[in-house]
Amino acid sequence: MRLENKVAIITGAASGIGKAAADLFVAEGARVVYSDIYDAPNDLTIDAEKAIYVKCDVSKRAEVAALIQKTLEKFSALDIMVNNAGVGTVGSILEASDEVWDKTIGVNLSGTFYGVQLAAQVMKEKGIKGSIINLSSILGTVGLPGTVAYCASKGGIVQLTHAAALDLAAHGIRINAIAPGFIMTNMTKGMLNNDSFSKLVKGNTPLGYVGVPDDIAYAALYLASDESKYVTGTILHVDGGWTAR
């Protein structure tokens, strides 16, 4: 059990990468708070002794604070914070509207900021040498036409992670980010089921195929566990080699 007796919050955990990570963390001994902007999915089965579900819109500071408070009320600790919730949006620099920009930055970047800051404050106050994991993207490192707001938000997460790691190291709190390549989830399946886009993705991925949520969940497990106790401020690319080109 790599996460025995640890308490974790995972946002965006109703499906996809977040759910895969939450399920894996429970299997590895953690007590987990599944959180998402939606009501609990009907097909979500969790053991009440090991996990709870809390609805939360991460773009609102007060809701993130309430999420953390409910976690403390249930489990009395917070060892791991996974800021996974995000939205995928499209629009070039010539076309992106203020609405698209504000929503993308609000959920992806501001939501991550709230999760990092509020979780770190609790960890510091309780003397917990915790692990905070942010979900960036390969598009936080390289560009893709027609995704200006998304790229900006994910690039912001990279630098937020670097700066926060320096701020938190003195308190023994580690913070890292995962930068996935294209992963088959509800968010991406529409694009990836398009033959021409799928061909583009596979052609730019040296391993030649699209990843699955478990590929990211296992990276999160490593960063959440004591196996990565000397790792902070790093961006772990799990992208089939995309950014190695």
Look at residue 193 in the predicted model and tell me its pLDDT: 80
> pLDDT tens across 18-47, in order?
999 999 999 999 999 999 999 988 888 888
pTM: 0.96
Q: Mind telling me the catalytic residues?
A: 150
pLDDT band at 113 (very low <50, low <70, confident <90, very high): very high
> pLDDT tens across 189-243, in order?
777 788 888 888 899 899 999 999 999 999 999 999 999 999 999 999 999 999 9
Look at residue 117 in the predicted model and tell me its pLDDT: 99
CA atoms in the 13 A half-sphere facing the CB of 244: 9
Secondary structure of residue 82 in the 3-state scheme: strand
- Fold classified for 7-237: Rossmann fold (3.40.50)
Among the residue ranges 108-122, 128-142, 199-213, the one predicted with the least confidence is 199-213
Other CB atoms within 10 Å distance of the CB of residue 145: 9
The residue-averaged pLDDT of 39-57 equals 91
- In 3D space, the residue among 111, 191, 116, 113 whose CA is nearest the CA of residue 147 turns out to be 191
- In 3D space, the residue among 104, 82, 79, 83 whose CA is nearest the CA of residue 29 turns out to be 79
Question: Is 60 exposed, middle or buried, given 0-12, 13-18 or 19+ CB atoms closer than 10 A?
Answer: middle
Look at residue 163 in the predicted model and tell me its pLDDT: 98
